A and B are shown apart, each in its own frame.
Chain A
Amino acid sequence: MTDGAAETRITDLLRSWREPVLDRWVELAFDAVGGRVTERELRTELSELYELVERAFGDDGAAMGELRATLAELSRGRARNGFSPSETAVGVFALKQALYERIRTTRDQRAYNDLIDFTSFVDELGLATFETYAATREQVIADQSEQLLELSTPVVKLWDGILGVPLVGTLDSARTQVVMETLLEALVDTGSRFAVIDITGVAAVDTEVAQHLMKTVMAARLMGTQCVISGIRPQIAQTIVTLGIEFGDIATKATLADALKYALDRSGVRVTGGPED
Chain B
Amino acid sequence: MERVPILKIGDVLLVSIQVDLQDQTVLALQEDLADRIVRTGAHGVIIDITAVDIVDSFIGRTFATIASMSRLMDSETVVVGMRPAVAITLVELGLSLGGVRTALDLEEGMRLLGAGAPGARAPAADHS
Contact = CB atoms under 8 A, between A and B. Distances in A.
Interface in A167-190: 180-181, 184-185, 187-188
B87 A193 contact: no
A129 interface: no
Nearest to B83: A188
Interface string A187-220: 1100111000000000000000000000100111
Contact of A223 (B78, B82, B92, B96): B82
Contacts of A1: none
Main secondary structure on A side of the interface with B? helix
Nearest to A193: B104
Contact of A215 (B86, B92, B108, B127): B92
Interface residues of B, number: 22
A268 interface: yes
B90 A219 contact: yes
Contacts of B91: 215, 218-219, 222
B127 to A, nearest CB: 6
A184 B84 contact: yes
Contact of B108 (A184, A193, A221, A270): A193
Contact of B104 (A180, A185, A224, A270): A224
A181 B91 CA distance: 13
Contacts of A184: 84, 87-88
Contact of A224 (B88, B90, B103, B127): B103
Interface in A221-269: 221-225, 268
Nearest to A189: B84
Interface string B58-91: 0000000000000000000011101110111011
Contacts of B86: 222
Given A218-B91, A268-B127, A191 B105 contact: yes
Interface-central residue, B88, B92, B105, B109, by most chain A CB under 10 Å: B88
Contacts of B127: 268, 270
Contacts of B105: 191, 224
Nearest to B107: A191
A224 B108 contact: yes
A187 B103 CA distance: 12
A223 B108 contact: no
B103 A218 contact: no
A187 B88 contact: no
B54 to A, nearest CB: 14
A187 B82 contact: no
Nearest to A161: B104
A174 to B, nearest CB: 15
Contacts of A268: 127
Nearest to A225: B104
Contacts of A222: 82, 86-87, 90-91, 96-97, 102
A145 to B, nearest CB: 23
B108 A220 contact: no
Contact of B80 (A187, A215, A224): A224
Interface of A: 180-181, 184-185, 187-188, 191-193, 215, 218-225, 268, 270
12 contacts: A181-B84, A184-B88, A185-B84, A187-B104, A191-B104, A192-B104, A222-B86, A224-B103, A224-B104, A224-B105, A224-B109, A225-B104
Query: Which A-B residue pairs are the 10 nearest by beta carbons?
Result: A184-B84, A224-B103, A224-B102, A219-B87, A222-B87, A224-B104, A218-B91, A215-B91, A219-B91, A219-B88
Given A193-B104, A219-B84, A225-B104, 11 more contacts: A187-B84, A219-B87, A219-B88, A222-B82, A222-B90, A222-B91, A222-B96, A223-B84, A224-B80, A224-B109, A268-B127
